[in-house]
Amino acid sequence: MLKVYGMELSVPSNKVRFTANALGLEYEYKSMNLMEGEQKADWFVKINPVGRVPAIDDDGFSLFESNAIIKYLADKNNSAYYPKDLKARAKVEQWIDFTSLHIAAAMTRVLFNRILAPVIGAEVDENSLKTGIEFLAQFLPIVDQQLGKSKYLAGDNMSLADIVLLASVDPAEACQIDLTPYTNLVKWRQDLQAKDFYTKCHKSYADVLAAMSAK
């Protein structure tokens, strides 16, 4: 059986879980205790030598890096979320790359400095936080504009690009990032958050954070 190794506050991990759920896959989910350093254990480093989540073990085939994982899972299951047509796939790849490099990276800066750094006792990098906020202000309008042209990010059909974007903006409320100016993005997001592939993972990222903070 497919095994998915992740952590509930990890955006890349949730990206993999959203994808596996959307594909209707049966899998075993293993929540890794990152605070205890479980991701550095010898048994896990054999699966992911980088010692980070997410990673998968698909009946002995191990793979890390979230974008590689979701493409593998979609391709293996002949999913339309990752189309075979060259041009259609290129569009999906385009938005996966754009979102990963510009929106997810920026949100991660904000997430780390506003949420995670205080929890783990790390120093808050104000310059990195400022850069993250500025990048989001620069790049969120681009996806909002795109979602005003088509129902989904890469066209009229949902694709892996939408899953990547959904996971990337999932921590927005927890990170105090206001998405309300981006009306197309908000409408698109609300639609996807109501779907089973999302609700099987969690009600919201903010709820997960609140529950973990209360422990």
Angle at 17 (CA atoms; ends 83, 201), nearest 5 degrees: 125
Burial readout 28-62 (b: 16 or more C-beta within 10 A, e: otherwise) = eeeebebeeebbeeeebeebbeebbbbbbbbeeee
Q: Where in the chain is the domain with CATH 3.40.30.10?
A: 2-76
87: left (phi over 0), alpha (psi -120 to 50) or beta: alpha
Does CATH place domain 2-76 in 3.40.30.10?
A: yes
Does CATH place domain 86-214 in 1.10.1740.10?
A: no
Name the pTM for this structure.
0.96
* pLDDT by residue, tens only, the chain of 215 residues: 999 999 999 999 999 999 999 999 999 999 999 989 999 999 999 999 999 999 999 999 999 999 999 999 999 999 999 999 999 999 999 999 999 999 999 999 999 999 888 877 889 999 999 999 999 999 999 999 999 999 999 999 999 999 999 999 999 999 999 999 999 999 999 999 999 999 999 999 999 988 887 76
pLDDT for res 215:
67
pLDDT for res 105:
97
109 vs 127: CA distance, rounded Å = 10
Q: Where in the chain is the domain with CATH 1.20.1050.10?
A: 86-214
Q: Which of 87, 47, 88, 41 is nearest to 65 (CA)?
A: 47
| Whether the Cβ atoms of residue 102 and residue 141 lie closer than 8 Å to each other | no
